Amino acid sequence: MEPILAPESIDLIALAPVLVLSVFAMLVLVLDLWGGRNKSLLVFTSLVGLLMTAISAFAKNPIPAYSFNDSYIVDHLSLFFICIFTISSALAILLSVEYNEREGIRAGEYYALILFCTVGMILLASSTDMIMIFLGIEIVSICLYVLAGIRRNDHRSNEAALKYFLLGAFATGFLLYGMTLVYGSTGSTNLFKIAEVVQNPSAQSNPLLLMGLVLLVIGFGFKVASVPFHMWAPDVYQGASTPVTAFMAVGPKAAAFAAFFRVFAEAFPEMSSSWEMLLSIIAVLSMFVGNLGAIMQTNIKRMLAFSSISHAGYILMAVIAKSSLGSSSMLFYMLTYAFMTFGIFGIIIILGRKGEENLEIQNYSGLAYKHPVIALSMTIFLLSLGGLPPFAGFVAKFYLFSAAIQEGLLTLVIIAVLNSAISFYYYLKIVVFMYMKEPEAEFNISLTPMTLFVILIGVLGTINLGIFPNAIITLASH
C-alpha cells in the first residue's frame, strides 16, 4: 500500500520559513521559563528568528516550487508576503519593548504569540489547499484572540478578546462550511484541481458551489474586516494594546488578503462573473462605511479601525482585478500600509503613559508647538494614508487603481477616488488639532529609543516608497 504522501512530495526546504520560525518561537518560551528577567534576550531572539525566517524563505530554488502534494507553494507572491510578515512582526516587537514594561505585560508569551501568529500567516500566504488555508487561519486567529486580551487586568482588553473570539468563531464556521460545499461540488480541496473542475460550464451553475463561494466570501470578509463583517474591528482595535492593534491592522490582514486572492483568483477565475459583483458591492460598502464611520469618531484608535475598513475596500479591488498587476499592486499596497500604520501607532504610544493613553483626538491639540518633529511625522503618515503625493500612499493607490482600470473596473475606481477625497476630512482633522489648536495640557512624551526607531523607519519607508517606488514595484510585479 502506497503512503499518502510520496517521499519526493515532502519538501522540508520549501517549508523552511515555517520550521525556522516555529523553532525560534519555542526557544523564546524556553528562554522566558529559565531567564525571564532578561527581556532583551527575548527581543533579540525573536528578531533573529524573524530575520532567519526571511532568509530561509529564499532557500528554495528554482521557483515556483510545489510540495506536499501541491498543497504548499513557494512563489514570488508568497516570498513577497513573507517579507511583509517578517517586517510587520519585527516592527510590532520593537513597538512592544517599552510598552510592555510600562503596562506590565509578560514579555515571553507575548513575543512567542507574535512569532506563532507569523507562522500561521506564512501558511496562509503559501497554501494552495483549503485544508492548509484553514489551518493557517486557525493558528493566526488563536494567537490574536490571546494577544487582544493580553492585558488581563484591563476590562476593555478582556471585552475586545471576547468579542473577537465569539465573532471569529462564528465567521470560521461560515468559512469551513463554504470549504465543505466547495469540496462536495468539486471533489477536491486543492485550488488547482478545483480550477480544472470549474472550467466545466455545468459545474459553474452548481447551486452548492455558488453557495460555497458566498460562504467563503463571508469567512474571508470577516478576516479582512470588510463591510458588513466589520463589526468587531472598532471595539477590538480600541480595547487591544496599541502594539497588538498595529500588528492586527497589518500582518494578519495581509495574510487574509493573500489567501483571499489565491482562492478566488486562482481557483475560481472562470466563475468571476458570479463573485465579481458581490465583491464589488462589499468593496464599495467598505469604502463608504469605513470613511463615514471614521468621520464620526473622537477616539483615534477607533478612527484608524474604520480607516482600515475603508482600506480593505480598496485592496478588494486587487482581488476583483485578479490579474498579475492586481496581485503586485496588492503587495505594494500592503507594504506601504505597514510603514504608515506602524508609524502612526508608534506616535500614539509615545504620547501615552501608564493608565492614561491619550487616545482622544483632542489630546493632540497643539502638538506641533511642543514637539514639531513628532507632529510632522504624524502629518506625513496621515497624508500618505489619504493618498497625497509625494508619499507612498499615493503611489500605492495609483498603482492599485491602474490595475483596476486595466480590468475595466472604471466605476469602482471612480468610487474609490471619491472615498479617498472623503478620507482627507478625518485625516486632516488631526492635523488641524496639532497645528491650529492651543495645547490643552502638558505633553508627557516618553521618547523611548525602540519606539522612535519604528517611527523613523515608518517615515523613511513612507517617503522613500513615494519618491523612489520603482525598485519595489519591479520586485512586486514578478
Q: Worst-scoring range by mean pLDDT, 78-82, 106-110, 251-255, 262-266?
A: 106-110
Q: Worst-scoring range by mean pLDDT, 150-159, 249-258, 304-313?
A: 150-159
* Residues 350/240, Cβ–Cβ less than 8 Å: no
Decide if pLDDT at 52 tops 90: yes
Measured CA to CA, the distance from residue 289 to residue 280 in angstroms comes to 14
pLDDT tens, 177-226? 999 999 998 888 888 888 888 888 777 778 888 899 999 999 999 988 89
Q: What is the pLDDT of residue 292?
A: 93
How many residues does this entry show for the chain?
478
Q: Any idea what the Cα angle at residue 330 is, between residues 430 and 283, rounded to 5°?
A: 70
Measured CA to CA, the distance from residue 334 to residue 379 in angstroms comes to 20
pLDDT tens, 345-365? 999 988 877 666 777 888 888
> Against a cut of 0.95, is the pTM above it?
no
pLDDT tens, 425-477? 999 999 999 898 887 777 777 778 888 999 999 999 999 998 888 888 887 77
Q: What is the pLDDT of residue 35?
A: 67
Which grid cell is 334?
500592503
Instruction: Write a three-state SS string for the chain.
Output: CCCCCCHHHCCCCCCHHHHHHHHHHHHHHHHHHHHCCCHHHHHHHHHHHHHHHHHHCCCCCCCCEEECCCCEEECHHHHHHHHHHHHHHHHHHHHHHHHHHHHCCCHHHHHHHHHHHHHHHHHHHHECEHHHHHHHHHHHHHHHHHHHCCCCCCHHHHHHHHHHHHHHHHHHHHHHHHHHHHHHHHCCCEHHHHHHHHCCHHHHCCHHHHHHHHHHHHHHHHHCCCCCCCCHHHHHHHHCCHHHHHHHHHHHHHHHHHHHHHHHHHHCHHHHHHHHHHHHHHHHHHHHHHHHHHHCCCEHHHHHHHHHHHHHHHHHHHHHHCCHHHHHHHHHHHHHHHHHHHHHHHHHHHCCECCECCCEHHHHCCHHHHCHHHHHHHHHHHHHHHCCCCCHHHHHHHHHHHHHHHCCCHHHHHHHHHHHHHHHHHHHHHHHHHHHCCCCCCCCCCCCHHHHHHHHHHHHHHHHHHHCCHHHHHHHCC
Q: What is the pLDDT of residue 458?
A: 93
Torsion angles phi and psi, residue 299, rounded to 5 = -90, 130
The mean per-residue pLDDT over the stretch 94-105 comes to 84
**Start-to-end C-alpha separation, the chain:** 42
Handedness of CA 55, 86, 335, 316 (dihedral sign): positive
* Residues 285/293, Cβ–Cβ less than 8 Å: no
pLDDT tens, 375-385? 999 999 999 99
Amino acid at 432: V
Q: How far is CA 322 from CA 325, 358, 407, in A?
A: 8, 42, 9
Measured CA to CA, the distance from residue 115 to residue 117 in angstroms comes to 5
Decide if pLDDT at 76 tops 80: yes
Place of cell 532557500: 59
Nearest to 402 by CA among 312, 310, 327, 326: 326
The mean per-residue pLDDT over the stretch 166-185 comes to 90
